[in-house]
Amino acid sequence: MMSDGNLDLPEILTGEHFTTGNHATAEGALAVGCKFFGGYPITPSSEIAEHMALRLPRVNGHFVQFEDELASIIGILGARWGGYKSMTATSGPGYSLMVENIGLGMMTETPCVIINVQRGGPSTGLPTLVGQQDIMQTKWGSHGDFEPIVLCPSNVQECFELAVQAFNYAEQYRLPVTILMDEILGHMSEKLIIPDKSKIKRVNTKKPNVPPEEYLPYKPDKDLVPPMAIAGDGYNIMVTGLTHDERGYPVLNVETQEKLVRRINDKIRKNKDKIIILEEYMLDDAEIAVLSFGSVARAAKGAVNRAREKGIKAGLLRLVTIWPFPDERIEALANQVKTILVPEINYGQITREVERTTHGKTNVKGLFKMGIMHNPQEILSEIEKCV
Amino acid sequence: MKSSLERRRKKPEWPAFTNLDEYKTTPSQVYIIKERCKECEWCIIYCPEQILEKSDEINVKGYHHPKLIDGKSFEDCAECHFCELICPEFAIYVVKQDDERGNNDE
Amino acid sequence: MAEEDRELIESHEHPLDGYLREGRIPHIFCPGCSLGSITNVIIEAINEVGFDPKKVSVVSGIGCTGRISGYLNYDSFHTTHGRSIPFAISLSITDPERKVIVISGDGDLFAIGGNHFIHAARRNADITVICVNNFNYGMTGGQVGPTSYMGQVQTTAPYGFNEESFNLPHLAATCGAVYVARWTALDVRRIKDSFVEAFKKKGFSFVEVLGSCPTTFGRRNQLAEGKKILQHFADHTVLKHDADPKETKIEKNGPFIVGKFVDIEDKPTLTDNLLAIQRISQASDKKS
């Protein structure tokens, strides 16, 4: 087991393990080169912090427990500007505290990873039971216009893989990336296979290839992402949350706002196809689609299998990236199927997005539960009703 | 009690046999960037030798920048750099001159 | 006496212009505001210590004082309101040779950012925090702040503020800062020497500078010009090194007690402690 204080542990623990989702996420972060964790304990994500506290010092990283989530999020932004890949882990109430500075991360284009192990909400809610109620917050929680990247694993192996992917997206597109887990996934134990070092890809931000006199910190390349110089590189960078021009200096006028806000949104919007990850299961000839994500997708897959055994043409579309939302794929799906069922552990968040993107071309039905995952029989009953 | 400013205005009397010319160095030069001044008057008020005053000239922003009081020269400047350090606008500075004469040790 | 010695020599460049960002001078500070002087003093102090400019990072918050980072030509980070200290802590941890200076205002550091200040001081983070205290929230128009004193009039205290002012050196000393000093904006030479000591200090150093804010503070409190505020400081300042920080609270007519109040040596910093944890965790590896 990873957490028993085993000696001689490198960054990447290649091999087979049996461990929890929280630990798998932490190991994924370590495998991709995370060297700084700044956090605050909150159920159900505290195990991530505890695991990082154990493992990071061994791999020459730093674990800092801050006084609150407000300090944690800005602490990890500072660590990245100091040169360390950084992350934090929290749940709904903590994420609410962090949103202001996630906005700062978006505006300053700082790569970092935030893990939200969702629990029941609103407010203090259900600390020890599952929820999927924070999805819209990852897109609209912070003020202002920005396009987030949000990943949603469904099993423990994916927790590891998506942690690696999250850091790579963050570095490539220079923004805070959120991993939306949930309490069930965080606390369940499953098999995890950590591959060899050579199979784990590490992406780093582009570095400037001009001398300091010619460098403009916020002048984008063709992919709309600027190369990043950090503190100590000798570039005398200016990083500010105010609207800024290409030098990074605050310039508070209409023209600069237009240019900057459009670019930090377009860098994701225009690269959507390279970012969106979906799993399509038995969707080719499906007449009824189940659209789900997170822990619920496990039950949904089971329901689709049972439906197929009964001869119903059901299929599963699993969102691995929730944002950017796969508008085009769902619109295409709407032309194909009679109904899209959306089981989620909330009172209708992704359901609304699906309704928006299908433009009334198909039936959309949300299956809402609170505090507990759907079981496959419940989803199967709904599928049968649609036939 | 007299303020330190007031006490310094009266120069001490040197004994007659001391030849002050042996010890004189080239005075530092005081520069003014007129367009930056915002007439806060701090250099004028707090100069320990009181050699500055507001000029009648105004700069492009409409502020009266400082000038040397008539009759005063760089010789009267104590080279303390206080005006340079306290100016909020980076508008006035003092440059020490190299000299063969006198004692140039800091 | 040469004729040219009787007039100030006209120039268009200042010797410190290289340390200021090009095209950003003239700055946005009001006439009579002491923030320009403090920027000047910071540059002189950094030069006097002799830091490698590449290794200096300046972090600031929101407010007039927070704008200083935008003028200094080092690695400048202008963060959100109250959050400059955790950002600075992370910068200092990621490179123990980096000098991180936090420069921000009284509201930013002690109202919204108060919690971060307390813990940074407690943990002895290796940063220097400079607070320019102008007794109000200047940039937003002159609202009352945690350091406003009894009797002060501001926009959100139109009947006169009747609460206690926050005694900043007392807070810093109690939380464990290893260097605590306070000066007024008039005393630029002592401020510079104090900055030099604070920058060289290992651990959490804190310098409070009572600043002059004629526009939003001065005009509402019978001190309508910068020179009047400085004169007010000059009239009521009492220099008292090693004063008990408990007794240094600011009141309307002083005395403004200034000086170096705390100077402690050899307290392990947060960076030291984190590196020790690394060694401890890796020593068990070597044992096997």
Q: A177-188 pLDDT, tens per residue?
A: 999 999 999 999
Give the pLDDT of residue B102. 52
Residue A273: count of CB within 10 angstroms of its CB: 9
Residues in A touching C284 (Cβ below 8 Å): 5, 7
**Domains of chain A, earliest start first:** 15-199 (3.40.50.970), 278-386 (3.40.50.920)
Domain membership flag for residue C90: yes
Amino acid, res. C110: F
| B40 has a pLDDT exceeding 80 | yes
Which carries the bigger pLDDT value, residue C214 or residue C285? C214
- Whether pLDDT at C1 is above 60: no
ipTM at complex level: 0.93
CB contact under 8 A, B88 and C5: no
pTM of the model: 0.93
Separation between Cα atoms, residue A9 and residue A3, nearest integer Å? 11
Structure confidence at residue B97 (pLDDT): 87
* DSSP state letters, C54-107: GGEEEEE-SSTGGGGGGTBSSEEEE-STT-HHHHHHHHHHH-TT-EEEEEEEHH
Alpha-carbon gap, residue A250 to A243, rounded angstroms: 6
Is residue A290 within 8 Å of residue A271, measured between CB atoms? Answer: no
Look at C274 and A36 and tell me if their CB atoms are within 8 Å. Answer: no
Q: Mean pLDDT across the stretch A36-56?
A: 96
- Spell out the alpha helix ranges (H) of A20-110: 21-31, 46-55, 69-81, 92-108
Q: Percent of chain A, pLDDT > 90?
A: 96
**Is A281 at the interface with chain C, CB within 8 A?**
no
Please tell me if residue A233 touches chain C, with a CB cutoff of 8 Å: yes
C11 inside 8 A of chain A by CB? no
**Structural domain includes residue C171:** yes
Chain A with chain C: Cβ pairs closer than 8 A: 144
State in words which class domain B35-97 has: alpha beta
- Best of B86, B92, B93 to disrupt the C interface (most C CBs within 10 Å) is B86
Q: What tokens appear for B92 in the block?
A: 């006035």
Cis geometry, peptide bond prior to residue C26 (ω within 30 degrees of 0): yes
* A318-335 confidence digits (pLDDT tens): 999 999 999 999 999 999
Domain that holds residue C153: 24-287
Tell me the C-alpha distance between A330 and A332, whole Å.
Answer: 5
pLDDT tens for A115-161 read 999 999 899 999 999 999 999 999 999 999 999 999 999 999 999 99
Q: What are phi and psi of A149, to 5 degrees?
A: -115, 125
- Whole-angstrom Cα distance, residue B1 to residue A145? 64
pLDDT digits (tens, 9 = 90+) for A71-107: 999 999 999 999 999 999 999 999 999 999 999 999 9
pLDDT of B5 reads 62
* Whole-number pLDDT of residue B24: 73
Residue boundaries of the structural domains of chain B: 35-97
List chains touching B (3+ CB pairs under 8 A): C
Q: Please report the pLDDT score of residue A292 as a whole number.
A: 96
Inspect the interface and report whether the beta carbons of C16 and B90 lie closer than 8 Å.
yes
pLDDT of residue C13: 94
Q: According to the model, what pLDDT value does residue A11 have?
A: 85
Residue C183 lies in a domain: yes
Shortest distance, CA C35 to any CA of chain B (angstroms): 7
User: What confidence score (pLDDT) does residue C288 get?
Assistant: 41
CA nearest neighbour of B86 among C212, C176, A108, A40: C212
Tell me the chain B residues in contact with residue C1 when contact means C-beta distances shorter than 8 Å.
73, 75
Which chains are within 8 Å of C by 3+ CB pairs? A, B
Q: Given pLDDT bands bounded at 50, 70 and 90, which one contains residue A2? A: very low
Question: Could you give the number of structural domains in chain C?
Answer: 1
B2 confidence band (pLDDT: 50, 70, 90): low
pLDDT, average across residues A252-256: 96
Q: What is the pLDDT of residue C287?
A: 53
Does the residue C279 lie in any domain?
Answer: yes
- Report the residue of C75, C117, C282 to disrupt the A interface, i.e. the one with the largest count of A CBs within 10 Å: C75
The reported pLDDT for the residue numbered B45 is 96
Q: Using CB atoms, which residue from B67, B74, B93 is nearest to C5? A: B74
Instruction: Check CB contact under 8 Å for B90 and C189.
Output: no
- Rounded to an integer, the average pLDDT of C163-167 is 95
Task: Tell me what pLDDT residue C106 has.
Answer: 96
Q: Look up the CATH number of the domain holding residue C64.
A: 3.40.50.970
Instruction: Note the pLDDT tens digit of each residue in C207-262.
Output: 999 999 999 999 999 999 999 999 999 999 999 999 999 999 999 988 999 999 99
Q: Taking CB atoms and an 8 Å limit, are C90 and A234 in contact across chains? A: no
Q: Tell me: the pLDDT tens digits for A210-252?
A: 999 999 999 999 999 999 999 999 999 999 999 999 999 999 9
Q: How sure is the predictor about C283, in pLDDT bands with cuts at 50, 70 and 90?
A: confident
